[in-house]
Amino acid sequence: MNTFRFWRAMAGCVGVVLGGVACGGGGSAIDAQTAPIEAWRSYCVATFPQGFESPATAFSRGFTANAGDEYLIARFFGFDGRSTTTLLLLTPAGPQDYDLRLEGGAALPYTTSCDLENTNEHLAVFATTTLFREATLATPLCELPAGTVRPLNAEAASGHSLADAAAGGDALVYEISLNALGAECAGAETGFARVPPVTVRDTSTHLVPIRTILGPA
């Protein structure tokens, strides 16, 4: 199947699901395939030149990278011989994050297009998302197209949290801090999105489609 057509079809479907209308029936998780990273190459990309396995810990899920696998870098912190990299595996539903923690001065197992000590943060939309004004999803606020990116405002809130609201089926409602994306949504500081379940690498999960990523300074 043509990768570009597959991406467009899946992204369109996910965008409708996030707006509250399912593409197809049932509440079971969609099997999310890996999405192309080409559109994001101007940001920080991690490439694994050889296979690498990061075991699960009490604080993070484990993952296995094959030679040639590529991830976007969402966060990097290094101090006193220790480092933590948050990597994003792209899918049409949104990114799945993995934390790679190294100690003892271990070298990074990936190469990167960025100087990790000199980056800027951005807020990115990975799947077209309809946001609502309240957790009940009664009043539409705005629609953010996939591929929208804005520089992160360090003085404003960012991130997301699970809202206390029923979304129907196995879907969850997340409250998302809009930060610099608020200008696209009538100046709102937060919005609520319905996030359906997907299966990534044999694990059922919910992928929030708006995430912070790193880009070159």
Give tens-digit pLDDT for 172-212.
999 999 999 999 999 999 999 999 999 998 889 999 999 99
Number of domains within the chain: 2
The pLDDT of residue 58 is: 80
Residue that is last in its domain, among 87, 121, 155: 121
Asked whether residue 214 is domain-assigned, the answer is: no
List, for the chain, all residue ranges whose pLDDT scores fall below the cut of 70.
Answer: 1-33, 165-166
Q: Tell me, yes or no, whether 153 lies in a domain.
A: yes
Same domain, 70 and 55: yes
Residues 130 and 116 in one domain: no
Same domain? 51 vs 98: yes
Contacts of 120 (CB under 8 A, 6+ apart): 151, 152, 214, 215, 216, 217
d(C-alpha 112, C-alpha 101), whole Å: 16
Domain boundary (91, 121, 151) is at 121
For the chain, how far is it from start to end, CA to CA, in angstroms?
37
63 in a domain, yes or no?
yes
Alpha helices in the chain (DSSP H): 3-18
Task: Provide the domain limits for residue 113.
Answer: 38-121
pLDDT at 7: 35
Please state, in angstroms and rounded to a whole number, the distance separating the CA atoms of residues 166 and 175: 13
Residue 215 lies in a domain: no
Residue 217 lies in a domain: no
**Which pLDDT score is estimated for 5?**
30
Q: Is residue 165 part of a domain?
A: yes
Q: What was the pLDDT predicted at 31?
A: 52
- Look up tokens 């057509």; give the residue: 5
